[in-house]
Amino acid sequence: MVPHIHISLRTYGWNAVDGLPVAAAVTPPREIGLLFVATAATQELATQIAKTCNPHFFHMPLTADQQLPSYAFAFSPAEIERGQVFEFRLNHVIGVDRPDELVRTTFVQAGGAA
């Protein structure tokens, strides 16, 4: 059985690293920041995925005739173990007679004589 894994690349910088002003219509960006996130059933598997993907995702040119891009890592070491991840799921619906039935509301009269 193949374990469930999830890999995502999250952008956290777009022409935001070198601090120089960039015109709004400039494309492609001069630089981008990407965060690679590997989620798996165990921390050991997630770490193995991150370490295996690192050279393939970050150290290969996009095409054979293109120079290697330059990289910087946001963390040192490049792989940081973050531990267990939890996911919120709304898994039930409650029928009510009034929209405010499940909400506690207290009315307070403000103003007037003390």
Q: Does residue 92 carry a pLDDT above 80?
A: no
In a domain, 87, yes or no: yes
Whether the pTM exceeds 0.95: the reply is no
C-alpha 58/C-alpha 68 separation (Å) is 9
Sorting pLDDT into bands at 50, 70 and 90, what band is 16? low
Residue 23, pLDDT above cutoff 90: no
Q: Is residue 83 part of a domain?
A: yes
- Which of 13-17, 39-43, 80-84 has the highest average model confidence (pLDDT)? 39-43
Q: What confidence tier does 88 reach under pLDDT thresholds 50, 70, 90?
A: confident
Question: 114 lies in a domain?
Answer: no
Question: What total of structural domains would you count in the chain?
Answer: 1
Classify residue 44: in a domain, yes or no.
yes
Residue 113: inside a domain, yes or no?
Answer: no
Distance between the two ends of the chain, CA-based, in angstroms?
A: 72
Pairing mode, strands 5-14 and 32-40: antiparallel
Angstrom distance (rounded) from CA 99 to CA 68: 59
pLDDT number for residue 48: 93
Please state, rounded to an integer, the average pLDDT across all residues of the chain. 79
